Structure 1
Amino acid sequence: MWRILQIVSLSLFLILSSTGCEFSSPKLKIYTVGIVSIDDNFNPFVENFKTGMAKAGYVEGKTIHYLYDGPIKKEQLADRLVFLKNQHLDLLFTLSTPVSQKAKEVFADTKVPILFCPVYDPVTSGLVDSLTNPGGNITGVMVGGSLGKALGYLLDVLPGLKTIFVPFPQKDSSARANVGDLKTAAAKYGIRIVPGQIDNRQDLASLMENIPADADAVWLPNSPLIVSNASMIIQAAMKRGLPVSSTTSKAQDGALLSYGVAPQKIGIQLSALADKLLKGVPASQLPVERAEYILAVNLQTAQRLGINVQESLLKQADIIIR
């Protein structure tokens, strides 16, 4: 009997070998994630997203592959998205409102889920139907909703504040929404907002040479154009002896105050959402999340401008630049 079993087993092995069959362990699924950015300032979001994915068990080069060679020029955006559309993506990660809007348009006829960040107001910008029920194939992390608190911090430092100058790109829907919300928040305190409309960096440079004489401070709205030129804006304001406040993390560049997002924390939020999307949860079933914020105070700037920052505010700060 044993001899018969040996003969049968050998025969079966020879048959399988002759047909080219091999015995191997199941292959691991390798996910392909496209990433699109048009601004170097978003690099920390990309790195922290990857870090979060690694902590979630996705090993780059083994179980996940990122199609990303760094930020591209804005005029290359459409072509890059079309290219990625043909790469059989499992997920598309888009950075900024303009990139996310274009991605939604290009990928409208696909089932590829889109994960966005940092977007100021995904509803106003037309990315989602609502924060709780995004609809379609897109969701992500928003960075709006902190203006009231950020303005309150600035008033703690400058109680006599009356006028804030706000440069912003008029074609950027996120920046327009930011300015509108700032006006609403400022009206409660009797503060006047003076917008300065621009279209490009050249406009911005010219505008900052002509800051209104009655401005008491300068505000940086959420916009790729503003964020990428924050240092220039801050330097121009400092020449006029004006403090700069922001809801982007720019205290390290010389802004007096910033109440902005923490890239490390957003990385965790984004990777958790990405994990669910890659496991098949529809984007329409994942509510848009709000980013966590950190308060940063630049005491070097305060000293240069002769501004006293109360100890009570410093105790609330997550970061103090001395």
Structure 2
Amino acid sequence: MKYGKIALALMVLITSIGSPAYARGADDTYKVALLLWGGTDGFIAQMTAYGYVEGENITYLYVNLQDVPPEDIQTEYEKQIQAMIDDGVDVFVTETDTDAVNLRNLVGTEIPIVFARSDDPVATGAVADLVTPGGNITGTVTNRPHERRLQLLTEIKPSTKKIYYIISTYALGAEATLQQVQAVAEELGVEVIPFTAAMSPATFSVDPASWTELIQNMPEDIDWVFMTPFVFLDPQETAELMALSVERGFGLAYIIDQPVPGYLISYGPSLAASSGQAAQTVDRILRGASPAELPVQTAENFLTINLEAAAAINMTIPEAILRQANMIVRPGYFEALATPTPGS
């Protein structure tokens, strides 16, 4: 997946709306570092709506690790971050609170850092409190999507008994989220079987040895595989998981609203929308607000149902679930995306 491939280049490293009244003065150019490996379009579009025009009153800075050997990524990343600091960066924007905490360890506590998504920023140590973050980090928290996703799995398949819950070693605060999910599972009479997958800095995906262990430990009678943040698969791992899903008849559940081939359900925040919320926070900081006093915002969750994936494992989606879906993926959707349009 493009999302995961871009993401892992960084994995190894670690409320008012309106025209901006610039804290520095109308002629100054702000410098905002975008460490958003899930895409920057939503963030930049919202900043543009607030009156920030690239090349006029704002400059966006990026980390480029495209051709860097895996063994040199950490050093090159730190070098580029330091160059941003030397260049006078005003705000760093990260994909998640895990990224923000790792970045704070590198840049210190003076430069504001805004994260676009988090499951529990208090648990990760990104903020002291959701209302009063108390440091140089603030951002947007997801609205407990993992718990609701678990509930949705039992509504889609009422006979659900076992869920294989995959955790990444990179994700801070994963244990706190797991405890919340297990509490809901206990109420629903469902067994959540966690497996912690090690990420490989060489392949930017689950380490081969860890992947083998993940498959070997997968119960034969699971109903679902439940992905969590920072679990990324290489093409071979993805193909093997898809084949097992069809062979054994279990569904796959993804972490954001983005439709993904083979994944029956995707439930969570929108990358574009939550990045837009991060832009709102950055706007306020550029106008003089302190991140220590900016409450963490809450992202909206969205539901995507993939009927093509459901058909592959002979699962019928209840009408009540389809009515809740923000997006329904029908057979042929992904093939159409891959087919060039005339003149393209």
TM-score by length of 2: 0.77
Q: How does 1:7-156 map to 2 (within 5 A)?
A: 28-37=27-36, 39=37, 42-43=38-39, 46-70=40-64, 75=74, 76-110=76-110, 112-143=111-142, 145-156=144-155
Measured against aligned partners, the alpha-carbon deviations of 1:45-64 in whole angstroms (never above 9, x if no partner) come to x2210111111110011111
Q: How does 1:194-213 map to 2 (within 5 A)?
A: 194-200=193-199, 201=206, 202-210=208-216, 211-213=218-220
Preserved CA contact (<8 Å) 1:245 1:258: yes
Q: Which residue of 2 aligns with 1:216?
A: 223
Preserved CA contact (<8 Å) 1:249 1:259: yes
Which has the larger Rg?
Answer: 1
TM superposition shift of 1:296: 0.5
Q: Which residue of 1 aligns with 2:315?
A: 307
Letter in 1 for 2:122: V
Is there any run of 5+ residues in structure 1 with no aligned partner, and where? 1-25
Measured against aligned partners, the alpha-carbon deviations of 1:138-185 in whole angstroms (never above 9, x if no partner) come to 110122512222222111111011110112223532433332322122
Q: Which residue of 2 aligns with 1:278?
A: 286
* Percentage of matched positions with identical amino acids: 24
Preserved CA contact (<8 Å) 2:63 2:80: no
Measured against aligned partners, the alpha-carbon deviations of 1:88-146 in whole angstroms (never above 9, x if no partner) come to 11111112233211222233252x21111222211000010010110111110122512
CA distance in 2, matches of 1:228, 1:57: 40
Letter in 2 for 1:130: D
Number of equivalenced pairs: 290
TM-score by length of 1: 0.82
TM superposition shift of 1:250: 4.7
CA distance in 2, matches of 1:233, 1:118: 29
Measured against aligned partners, the alpha-carbon deviations of 1:258-296 in whole angstroms (never above 9, x if no partner) come to 111112322331221111010011111110111111110
Tell me the secondary structure at the aligned position of residue 253 of structure 1: coil
Mark the CA change 1:288 to 1:232 in structure 2 (over 3 Å): closer, same or farther: farther
Is there any run of 5+ residues in structure 2 with no aligned partner, and where? 1-24, 200-205, 331-344
Q: Which residue of 2 aligns with 1:243?
A: 251
CA distance in 2, matches of 1:241, 1:207: 20
CA-atom RMSD in angstroms: 2.4
Letter in 2 for 1:209: I
Mark the CA change 1:71 to 1:162 in structure 2 (over 3 Å): closer, same or farther: farther
Preserved CA contact (<8 Å) 1:97 1:174: no
Mark the CA change 1:100 to 1:129 in structure 2 (over 3 Å): closer, same or farther: same
CA distance in 2, matches of 1:60, 1:218: 42
Mark the CA change 1:70 to 1:248 in structure 2 (over 3 Å): closer, same or farther: farther
Q: Higher relative contact order at CA 8 Å, sep ≥6: structure 1 or structure 2?
A: 2
